Amino acid sequence: LPTGSEVSQESLLLHGPFARKPKRIRTAFSPSQLLRLERAFEKNHYVVGAERKQLASSLSLSETQVQ
């Protein structure tokens, strides 16, 4: 059985101030999606608002993925 100090150490690693967030799953864009995203980025480095929403919709992606 773990002692009290071992439990608190483990708890600190999992929930402490330096605990790592779980890695987010990276989106694998298709070549055509990449081309459209790169073209949009060339025109405007900050795709926001309605433009981002429309681009995301046309590429079947979420706005966060287009961000």
For the segment 56-65, the average pLDDT, to the nearest whole number, is 91
Q: What is the pLDDT of residue 9?
A: 60
Domains and CATH numbers, the chain: 28-66 (1.10.10.60)
Per residue in 5-57, pLDDT tens? Answer: 555 566 656 666 676 778 878 888 999 999 999 999 898 888 888 989 999 99
Q: What is the pLDDT of residue 4?
A: 52
Q: What is the DSSP string of 1-67?
A: ---HHHHHHHHHHHHSTTPPPPPPPPP---HHHHHHHHHHHHH-S---HHHHHHHHHHTT--HHHH-
Would you tell me how many other CB atoms lie within 10 Å of the CB of residue 66? 22
Q: What is the pLDDT of residue 36?
A: 92
